[in-house]
């Protein structure tokens, strides 16, 4: 089980790198091309697609035929993602909790909740698509 845990965390770290690159892409390219109001939702959708594609490419690495493993990985990734987001926002960026919670404000165009959903379901869906389940 510990091997699966380390593999799952490794895949999540790859997703984090791409999430950070997606944020840079949003700020450097999408804002200039689409404007601030459209850049955030487009970036959110792009990240959801990236999460699924990365998971699809790497899910075979997990090496399990148990559906509960992939459901558990999705839940683990949610915990890790929320921990990362809140820790980074509060401890590194110095944001208030109210500012950090704005990532859940869909009215502002932030689709973080969509990305969390993609994070939660991608391991199981990808395992099914790859014929592991």
Query: What residue has token string 């404000």?
Result: 105
Which one has a higher pLDDT value, 59 or 101? 59
Please report the DSSP string for 76-130 in residue order. HHHHHHHHHHHHIIIIIS---HHHHGGGG-GGGT--HHHHHHHHHHHHHHHHHHT
The domain locations on the chain are 2-129
Residues 125, 29: Cα–Cα separation, whole Å = 31
How high is the mean pLDDT of the chain? 95
Burial class (CB in 10 A: 0-12, 13-18, 19+), 86: middle
What does pTM read for this prediction? 0.92
Q: What is the pLDDT of residue 94?
A: 86
pLDDT tens column, 66-124: 999 999 999 999 999 999 999 988 888 888 888 888 888 898 889 999 999 999 999 99
Q: What is the pLDDT of residue 1?
A: 64
């Amino acid at each position: 089980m510990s091997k699966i845990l380390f593999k799952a965390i490794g895949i999540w770290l790859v997703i984090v790198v791409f999430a950070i690159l997606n944020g840079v892409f949003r700020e450097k390219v999408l804002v200039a091309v689409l404007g601030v109001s459209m850049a955030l939702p487009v970036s959110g959708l792009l990240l959801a697609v990236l999460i699924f594609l990365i998971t699809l490419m790497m899910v075979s690495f997990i090496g399990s035929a148990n559906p509960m493993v992939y459901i558990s990985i999705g839940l683990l990734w949610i915990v890790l993602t929320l921990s990362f987001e809140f820790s980074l926002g509060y401890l590194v960026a110095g944001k208030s909790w109210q500012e950090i919670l704005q990532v859940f404000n869909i009215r502002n165009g932030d689709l973080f909740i969509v990305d969390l959903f993609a994070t939660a379901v991608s391991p199981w869906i990808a395992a099914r698509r790859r014929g592991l389940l």
